[in-house]
Chains A and B, each alone.
Chain A
Amino acid sequence: MIKLEQVSKDFGKVKAVDNISFEVREGETMVLLGTSGCGKTTTLRMLNRLIEPTSGKITINGKDILTQPQEQLRRNIGYVLQHNSLFPHYTVAENIAAVPQLLKWDKQKIVTRSEELMHKVNLAASYLTSYPRELSGGQQQRVNIARALAANPDVLLMDEPFGALDTITRASIRKEFSELDELKRKTIVMVTHDVQEAFEMGDEICLMNEGKIMQKGKPSELLFHPANDFVRSFFSSSYLQLVLKTVQINDIWDALEETVTVAQTAVSIQYNEPLWQVMERLMKGNAGNSLIQVRNKQGATKTIGREALYNAISNYKAK
């Protein structure tokens, strides 16, 4: 869907992006991860030609982006920045309608689409007439996503979309968006410096440093098979947390010992849920004695307690 081939960008003598290539498949989310100045934002901005590459080729849907007029290209790509990038002099409705208006949709279609989007991002339609400054940061970011989705683009670019939000709002909005149907179907390239965010949102992660790709692949590959010391040390400070977020029930199925055989628990956990989530569910129960039913890929179930989970994790790590 999106393909970069040997793309470089020089700013004077500085190589901001140095000969990188990667591909994002349709419907997948690629996270560009790295510290500030690593070239991730430059890479993103080359995708909608806010920055022109010095060399290399970028195609979206098989078409070289340099062959299309800039404005037309951008109108077909959703673009999400931090929440304060909404137009402050436009109402929420006008903000959402910005791209459809550029594309000259008719009025009724715009209204219908705006209302639909407000519903999807969990905002009351009454906010349509509000101005961005009257909204909280989290609400503003919902509008921001709605604006990017308005014209129904196939591709979405997100530049630190949750960067300016506080930690709690960020986590909840992120969760909400990762469950949003419309977002799931999009091909997304997202820039972040937040490792947690990268692991939660990314189907693939592309870790960059000094304009070069250090490693790209599934989150678990980067975590368990780091290509070099840079990758290893990059994740070291939050290693355990990342493991819990990456490893799924299915992965530790064999090591998991059933706590009780006859199970009557309300919650049942799917095979592809990360351990982090299972632990969160277990924490909610009464101290020590809560149980939860888990399921593997083949549909077999086990009912486990906290202790069984801990044991399985330490066994898994030992492997």
Chain B
Amino acid sequence: MAQEQSLLSFMSEQSGKLLEQTLEHIGLTFISLFIAVIIGLPLGILISRRKKLSGIVLGTAGVLQTIPSIALLGFMIPLLGIGPKPAIVALLLYALLPIIRNTYTGITGVDATIREAAKGIGMSSTQVLFKVELPLAMPVIFAGIRTATVINVGVATLAAYIAAGGLGEFIFGGISLNNTNMILAGAIPAALLAIIFDFLLSRLQKMNVKKLRLAYISFPFIILILSSFYLLPVAYSSKLLAGFTPEFMGRTDGYLGLKKQYGLNIRTVVISDAVMYEALYHKKLDVISGYSTDGRLKAYDLITLKDDKGIFPPYYAAPVVRMDILDKYPELEQALNMLAGRINDSVMTDLNYRADHLKQSPEQIARNFLMAQGLWKEPRNGKKGIVRIGTKIFGEQYILGNMYSMLIKGYTDLDVATKTGLGGTKICFDAMTNDQIDMYPEYTGTGLLVILKTDARIANALIKNNDSVYNYVNDNFEKQYHIKWLKPIGFNNAYALMMRRQQSVELGVNSISGLKKYLEKR
């Protein structure tokens, strides 16, 4: 009950944003649907006329359909940048297959006798198409449009990854922030949209023929109106454009802190960390919320802005481990602590650079590093037990996960199972508390603010001192979750605002206060 009430209060608190995201979501869905109909319907008609083409066209549309949505969005960035354009194109590609296929099936499914009769009484082939084939195929075509709509409502949540807005902003923000209300505030409206549109279109599909004509005529207009929702929210502007991750947007040590402590007022879009560096590099964005040890900092010649008011807490990385597995296999702790203090900021940036830019595999990077440090040992192939290592879904975590795996195999008789690529802090931590993984690399600041949700007053007092943050999270994790923080690895992967080096020099901005001053000029 308490959960429900707080969800409702969250939604009413955020009602403005919720409405904006919902409208964006509807707009995205229907703009892409509209274009998909404009392209898909004639294509479907064409291949019903020239059946030889049907294999190629349906095959191509089918292949497009199988590309994972995130990957498709990724492909779009070099071509179309970030924002609505690539999102609409990606959605449109997903919507194409059901529309083309159902148009084709609908038309070829018209009874041969009826087509013959139409020709036989003297209709031209255009008349046969518009007077007989299309009207009879309409229910099937509408079923295709219906499928495409539901697919689009779903895939449109991913638009938040490339700064195109929509309800995905809440969903992914909620996942990274461990905020169930935020997830539901995005997920429930998205699900409702899917159900409502599916229902309305099913009614349209089953309507009788007379009413249908009116419906078919009004359908394009309705789509156009719904599409235009997307254009409404784009009203404000500023000189620079910032792309922040959903997580950063909702964190007190993120955008909220920037607004409160610095009074920073900048136009923002929400974007996935997987693509924001590239978007910054390609000048689609001017400021991003990066991680200070990210390899792309080096690869794309970016600089971090100085956090002169100290709002970003330290993010020292350390393995967090379930205490019951440490009790069971005491030798584990020693093996994991072998990495303690070995990797500083610049070493980690370099390792990430190898992964992100030189495209070396995390495993290779991990082995080379351990060998150079004289830590590498042949696996013992022990059968004593299994340690389950989890990692979050970015390069640094993959590298660390591999190092820990090698250390455990080389120094203990334990075997390792890895569960890599867990999408966000919440998912990783939930996996841990639900006994799905035994350990993963975590960052002190994340533990403090995201997992423990430490009160701002206490947190602000703590973040001035690295050790006090570490001690605080370790104590509280042990007490609350029976999880232990082992020794820090050494580097501090803190949040940082980043810009292109060239632009930073041109504008003379090298700190967050400097950025604020620049934005307030004129």
**Residues of A with Cβ closer than 8 Å to B?**
48, 50, 70-76, 79, 81-82, 84-89, 98-99, 102, 131, 147-148, 157
Contact = CB atoms under 8 A, between A and B. Distances in A.
Contacts of A99: 121-122
Nearest to A78: B121
Interface stretch (B43-51, B112-120, B288-296): B112-120
Contact of B114 (A73, A75, A76, A88): A88
Contact of B113 (A75, A84, A98, A147): A84
A87 B113 CA distance: 10
Contact of A74 (B111, B113, B121, B132): B121
B11 to A, nearest CB: 45
A71 B122 contact: yes
Interface string B350-377: 0000000000000000000000000000
B119 A75 contact: no
B84 interface: no
B116 A74 contact: no
Question: What are the 6 closest A-B residue pairs judged by CB atoms, nearest first?
Answer: A75-B122, A74-B122, A79-B120, A85-B117, A85-B113, A71-B122
B63 interface: no
Contact of B118 (A70, A84, A87, A148): A87
Contacts of B123: 71, 102
Nearest to B208: A131
Given A50-B116, A87-B132, A102-B127, A147 B121 contact: yes
A46 B123 CA distance: 17
Contacts, number: 56
Given A102-B127, A131-B209, A85 B116 contact: yes
Contacts of B127: 102
16 contacts: A50-B119, A70-B122, A72-B122, A75-B121, A75-B122, A79-B120, A81-B116, A81-B117, A85-B114, A85-B117, A89-B132, A89-B135, A98-B121, A102-B121, A147-B121, A148-B121
B462 interface: no
Contacts of A79: 117, 120-121
B218 interface: no
Given A81-B113, A102-B127, A50 B135 contact: no
Contacts of B111: 84
B122 A102 contact: yes
A73 B119 CA distance: 11
Contacts of A73: 122
A148 B118 CA distance: 11
B122 A87 contact: no
Given A87-B114, A88-B136, A148-B121, 11 more contacts: A72-B122, A73-B122, A74-B121, A75-B121, A81-B113, A84-B111, A87-B118, A89-B135, A102-B121, A102-B127, A147-B121
A17 B508 CA distance: 89
Interface residues of B, number: 18
A307 B124 CA distance: 60
Contacts of A48: 120
Nearest to B138: A89
Interface of B: 111, 113-114, 116-124, 127, 131-132, 135-136, 209
Given A89-B135, A89-B136, A82 B121 contact: no
A82 to B, nearest CB: 6
Contacts of A98: 121
Contacts of A74: 119-122
A85 B115 CA distance: 8
A106 B35 CA distance: 39
Most central of B117, B119, B127 by chain A CB within 10 Å: B117
A76 B132 CA distance: 20
Most central of A75, A85, A131 by chain B CB within 10 Å: A85
Most central of A70, A84, A86, A89 by chain B CB within 10 Å: A89
A70 B117 CA distance: 14
Contacts of A72: 122
A74 B127 CA distance: 14
B114 A71 contact: no
A235 to B, nearest CB: 30
B5 to A, nearest CB: 52
Contacts of B118: 87
B209 to A, nearest CB: 5
Nearest to A102: B122
A76 B122 CA distance: 8
B212 to A, nearest CB: 9
A73 B123 CA distance: 11
Nearest to A85: B117
B25 to A, nearest CB: 35
A284 to B, nearest CB: 39
A50 B111 CA distance: 17
A132 to B, nearest CB: 10
Nearest to A131: B209
Nearest to B114: A85
Contacts of B209: 89, 131
A79 B117 CA distance: 7
A198 to B, nearest CB: 22
B120 A81 contact: yes
Contacts of B121: 74-75, 79, 98-99, 102, 147-148
A70 B116 CA distance: 14
A102 B132 CA distance: 13
A131 B209 CA distance: 10
Nearest to A148: B121
